[in-house]
Structure 1
Amino acid sequence: MKKNFVPYLLIVIGITLVATSIGLKIYSKNVESKLIHKFDKEIEDSINRNKNLKSNNKNLKNIEVKFKKVEHGREFAIIEIPSIDLKSVIVQGVNKEELRYYLGHFEDTALPGQEGNFCIAGHSSHIYNELLNELYKVSVGDKIIIKTLKKDFEYKINKKFVVEPSDVNVLKQDKSKKQMTIVTCTNNGAQRLIVQAELKK
């Protein structure tokens, strides 16, 4: 009797694991979607304020974009990669909690549009949001749009390659360039897929 019970127990465990995985994905997507909606509204409000400011002061032309220090865990940009239909929020930090739901920014690297290397990371996970599962499909020449409260920035992909997890040279800061780097895992998780892009002038 006990032997006959084992297959049913295994089936129940399997169903529970699948249901849990699906539940986590749905929850993660809801968390991400709410923050995207919230930050989209903040960007829209910021654009309207800037328009009013410029209309009230016609002497304001090209003002240099300067970012204040971003608090850890705080959202500060939205990323869009049209070629793979990706839209997500970028938050400050790459700890487990940040990367569970969003893309994270390496805190010691440049911010959008700045000189240096704006570096972000995200999971290609089958457990949570699967944010960067399609990143391997991008091609050289594809565009990446970074939306902030200050300004939108457009980058053009110029490199895609794989490195070992220990290779941190991809985060190197070259102040003579304005580039960005996206880091995620390969399909088997053993290596890191790197996508790099240059700021469009």
Structure 2
Amino acid sequence: RYQSSAPGHSFKRVTLTKPTFCHSCSDFIWGLIGYLCEVCNFMCHEKCLKTLKTVCTCMSPSQVQVPVSHCFGLAGQKKRFCCVCRKQTEGNTALRCEVCELHVHSDCAAFTCADCRSCHLDGNQQQDTFHHHWREGNLSSAARCEVCRRSCGSSDVLSGMRCEWCGITSHASCYTSVPPECILGRLRCMLLHPGCVRLN
């Protein structure tokens, strides 16, 4: 087993038999050796193991401070990747959260982390600053990393990160370098800020 800098993963060295892309940096894995997490199917280069930032799906619930359930509907036929098993979704078996655009297989929906985008504050909760709500993968192939300005989108693998509020994109290895405060992007004048909605 191989250790990584991100918690939860259990990597093993595997021999690649077909073209494969790294889930961390989005680049092609040259050669015949890759590193696969036996828990969540995360695949990466050996060099990316030391700088890995993406938490394994088995640990994701422990990272959520305020759980918010997803609101799933049919996803349609467009090519997407499941955020639970990381495999491509197919036809009528695909679901999509109508709030945060999380894509999953119908069989994987029960295993999703309750980390949907929160659109309100609860009770006496105070929030002076508003942080990015990062969602992994399913980016446009034209997406550019906010940190290094390199391409971070891929139609071949679940990789890259996108803020579901302001829309900025980044590599999984770069997004922790983005300032945490979100200004809601170019459409902020049209969005109802979650701090303006309170449930008692």
TM-score range, shorter chain: under 0.3
Whichever structure has more helix as a proportion of its residues is 1
Whichever structure has more strand as a proportion of its residues is 1
- Structure showing greater Rg: 1
TM-score by length of structure 1 reads: 0.23
TM-score by length of structure 2 reads: 0.24
